[in-house]
């Protein structure tokens, strides 16, 4: 007998788990919140998608998150049972590695693109944004500085280089997310709370892109080349270049803030800026290829999701184009 619960029940526990984690005053409470969040997201993957790829993604996600959660609780026990300076630093290293594994930062990133590939666009957006809140907040409290910086710089470079030859939109977003985590981790290393502003703008740009891919029924680069409407192509690529951080689009603002925070450490800044240039390279290459390829006739049927949604996408794209001006006034 299969029990079916409405999606809003899973959503309630998904959001509750995150709020428990970020509002808890103990490591145990944070761990409990992480587990509630995990156990509510897995049924959402299986019930909303209901195919073999989603089942495989759910199993991979569960195994990785369970391993990372076990490492979190082990490191907290290690800290409380044997509390000394040396062991405390060892515990911080362990919890930093565990949370980076939960986030999908390099070199623990191999699961992330594969899991994202098996999800629909709603679950993909949740994995790219909401599921990162709890681990990032806990990481900002308990990180071990040298370990975090090494993983952050590795993530920035690996995320940028790995995205070059991808044709799946989900994998491009996955590797872009890994690269952005490198920027956020570097801002944490310099004890800046501005990583939250970076994360907020990243979530906003990711939402616009996932919404546009869902609206236009796009999953692969080949489908994008077959779009007949140039306005739709233009909106997709404005938002992709914004996510890549091309000035003067909205996505450049968080990187501008990060550069001001990290300006005291030139080698770190050079590594991060190089990774951002690589990301922009393959985004612009996709853009030129799509706009210059011969327009063929449609080879797959596409459901019309309504002009109302298209108008919403147009308004959101205006935020990507001109949003940097009002946002930047906050930081002046």
Task: Average the pLDDT over 297-314 and give the result.
Answer: 63
Among candidates 240, 262, 16, 241, which has minimal Cα distance to 134?
Answer: 16
What is the pLDDT, as a whole number, of residue 211? 92
Can you name the residues that pair with 168 across neighbouring β-strands?
A: 220
* b/e sequence 193-222, b meaning 16+ C-beta within 10 Å: ebbebbbebbebbbebbbbbbbbbebbeee
pLDDT in tens, 212-242: 999 888 888 888 877 777 888 888 888 999 9
Peptide bond connecting 107 to the previous residue in cis, omega within 30 degrees of 0: yes
* pLDDT band at 167; cut points 50, 70, 90: confident
Which pLDDT tens digit goes with each residue over 238-279?
899 999 888 888 889 999 999 999 988 889 999 999 999 999
Asked if pLDDT for residue 298 goes beyond 60, the answer is no
Mean pLDDT of 177-205: 92
What are the boundaries of each domain within the chain? Answer: 7-330
Express each pLDDT in 70-87 by its tens digit: 998 888 888 777 765 555
Using the predicted structure, report yes or no on whether residue 303 has a pLDDT greater than 60: no
Closest CA to 157 of 172, 176, 179: 179
> Is it the case that residue 175 has pLDDT exceeding 50?
yes
Q: What are residue 83's phi and psi, to 5 degrees?
A: -90, 100
19 has a pLDDT exceeding 70 = yes
Tell me which range, 50-54, 181-185, 224-228, 240-244, is most confidently predicted by mean pLDDT. Answer: 181-185
Higher pLDDT, 180 or 74: 180
Section 53-66 average pLDDT: 91
Query: In the structure, how many helices (H) and strands (E) does the chain have?
Result: 16, 0
Model confidence at 50, pLDDT cuts 50, 70, 90, reads: low
Mean pLDDT score across all residues of the chain: 85
């Amino acid at each position: 007998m299969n029990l079916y619960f409405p999606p809003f029940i899973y959503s309630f526990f998904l959001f509750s788990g995150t709020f428990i984690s970020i509002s808890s005053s103990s490591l145990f409470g944070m761990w409990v919140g992480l587990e509630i969040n995990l156990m509510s997201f897995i049924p959402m993957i299986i019930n909303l998608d209901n195919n073999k790829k989603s089942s495989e993604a759910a199993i991979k996600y569960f195994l990785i998150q369970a391993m990372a959660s076990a490492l979190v609780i082990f490191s907290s026990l290690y800290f409380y049972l044997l509390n000394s300076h040396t062991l405390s630093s060892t515990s911080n290293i362990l919890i930093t590695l565990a949370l980076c594994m939960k986030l999908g930062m390099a070199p623990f990133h191999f699961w992330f693109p594969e899991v994202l590939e098996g999800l629909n666009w709603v679950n993909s957006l949740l994995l790219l944004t909401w599921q990162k809140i709890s681990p990032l907040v806990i990481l900002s409290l308990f990180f071990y500085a040298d370990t975090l910086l090494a993983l952050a710089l590795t993530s920035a470079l690996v995320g940028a280089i790995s995205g070059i030859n991808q044709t799946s939109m989900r994998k491009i977003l996955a590797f872009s997310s890994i690269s952005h985590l490198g920027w956020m981790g570097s801002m944490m290393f310099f004890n800046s709370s501005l990583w939250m502003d970076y994360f907020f703008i990243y979530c906003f740009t990711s939402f616009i892109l996932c919404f546009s891919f869902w609206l236009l029924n796009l999953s692969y680069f080949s489908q994008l080349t077959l779009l007949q409407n140039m306005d739709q192509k233009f909106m997709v690529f404005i938002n992709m270049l914004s996510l890549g951080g091309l000035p003067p689009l909205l996505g450049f603002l968080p990187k501008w803030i990060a550069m001001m925070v990290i300006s005291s450490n030139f080698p770190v800044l050079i590594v991060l800026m190089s990774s951002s240039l690589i990301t922009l390279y393959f985004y612009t290459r996709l853009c030129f290829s799509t706009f210059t390829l011969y327009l063929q006739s449609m080879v797959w049927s596409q459901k019309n999701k309504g002009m109302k949604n298209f108008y919403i996408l147009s308004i959101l794209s205006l935020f990507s184009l001109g949003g940097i001006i009002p946002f930047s006034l906050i930081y002046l």
